[in-house]
């Protein structure tokens, strides 16, 4: 499948490099930006990829536009609404790396195959890509009454787009914990860690569940972590899943009732450093998930 990338910043550039370094199921047909002096567009040209600095209008005017199957949008939530409207008549599949969430949330190891026919799929957020799989792994064994996640990322890896979309991050991630992860109620918190040298992305996942088979829960979490690591090699558990009995009315949960457990999972995400530094695992997991989505679309297309 031929793909275009809209957005010539760090995320778009990292995604372009991943496409070029990939197995060949997805090929880079264009990189689109709005700044003619963009480093990302310059790098794309050096790599032999057609470029335009005229935004989505430049993509529509590009030679070979008709042959493009997938368009990755690595801009902003507001820009994606405009880009999606402009591209709607052309039947392209849009993979949205912004918090716009026009289409269904997609987390590859959890629900990708359910949305292969969608014209616009949303990659949630970096925190969502890291933590929703774990909540889904727990909910596959036992109902999750409440899920709370804390995503801690290096401040240096949070660019203007991330900082401008903090509210969208928390809202989108919370909804994905419920709609994709299966939690009855979800809450997301993001921490921009200013430490120097920058630290790797760390994620904490807390799930409130009924008393259950903790061995099955732990096995499900390990299996899911391995599924994510298949396309994000730096994704790993920091320790074994932890289980703690909750007293009725525990302040962490705000939920009454005895016989409940708190399942805690601690994660680390190290970036592949294709373009971004290794500490920017939060950005790496987004581009990796987006590429995995397009690769799965290509696999299905080839199988038909």
- 181 has binding-site annotation: no
- 64 has binding-site annotation: no
As a dihedral over the C-alpha atoms of residue 8, residue 9, residue 10, residue 16, rounded to 10 degrees, the angle is: -10
Q: Are 287 and 273 in contact (CB under 8 A)?
A: no
Cα-based angle 137, 285, 142 (whole degrees, multiple of 5): 10
- Report the relative pairing of strands 93-96 and 70-73 from DSSP bridges: parallel
- 48 has binding-site annotation: no
- 282 has binding-site annotation: yes
Task: Please confirm, yes or no, whether 207 is among the known catalytic residues.
Answer: no
- 161 has binding-site annotation: yes
Q: Which of 100, 126, 209, 280 is the catalytic position?
A: 126
Say if residue 197 is preceded by a cis peptide, omega within 30 of 0. yes
- 158 has binding-site annotation: yes
- Report the relative pairing of strands 235-237 and 260-269 from DSSP bridges: antiparallel
- 83 has binding-site annotation: no
What does the alpha-carbon distance between residue 150 and residue 156 come to, in Å, rounded to a whole number?
18
State how far Cα 39 lies from the chain centre: 24
What is the separation, in whole angstroms, between the first and last Cα of the chain?
A: 13
Contacts of 55 (CB under 8 A, 6+ apart): 6, 32, 33, 34, 83
Which residues are identified as catalytic? Answer: 126
- Binding residue ranges: 8-11, 157-165, 282
Binding-site residues for NAD(+), please? 8-11, 157-165, 282
């Amino acid at each position: 499948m031929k793909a275009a990338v809209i957005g010539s910043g760090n995320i778009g550039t990292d995604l372009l490099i991943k496409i070029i370094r990939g197995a060949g199921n997805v090929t880079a047909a264009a990189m689109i930006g709005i700044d003619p002096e963009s480093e990302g567009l310059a790098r794309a040209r050096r790599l032999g990829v057609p470029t335009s600095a005229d935004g989505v209008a430049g993509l529509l005017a590009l030679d070979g536009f008709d042959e493009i199957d997938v368009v990755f949008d690595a801009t902003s939530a507001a820009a994606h609404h405009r880009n999606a409207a402009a591209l709607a008549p052309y039947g392209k599949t849009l993979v949205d790396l912004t918090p716009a969430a026009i289409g269904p949330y997609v987390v590859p190891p959890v629900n990708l195959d359910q949305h292969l026919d969608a014209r616009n799929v949303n990659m949630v957020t970096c925190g969502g890509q890291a933590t929703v799989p774990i909540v889904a792994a727990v909910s596959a064994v036992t109902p999750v009454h409440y899920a709370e996640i804390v995503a801690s990322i290096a401040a240096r890896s949070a660019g203007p787009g991330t900082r401008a979309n903090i509210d969208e991050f928390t809202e989108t991630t919370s909804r994905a914990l419920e709609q994709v992860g299966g939690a009855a109620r979800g809450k997301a918190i993001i921490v921009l860690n200013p430490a120097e040298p920058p630290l790797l992305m760390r994620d904490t996942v807390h799930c409130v569940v009924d008393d259950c088979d903790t061995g099955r829960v732990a096995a499900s979490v390990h299996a899911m972590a391995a599924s994510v690591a298949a396309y994000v090699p730096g994704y790993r558990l920091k320790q074994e899943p932890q289980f703690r009995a909750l007293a009725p009315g525990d302040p962490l949960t705000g939920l009454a009732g005895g016989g409940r457990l708190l399942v805690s999972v601690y994660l680390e995400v190290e970036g592949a450093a294709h373009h971004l530094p290794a500490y920017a695992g939060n950005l790496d997991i987004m581009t990796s998930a987006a590429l995995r989505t397009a690769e799965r679309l290509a696999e299905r297309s080839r199988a038909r």
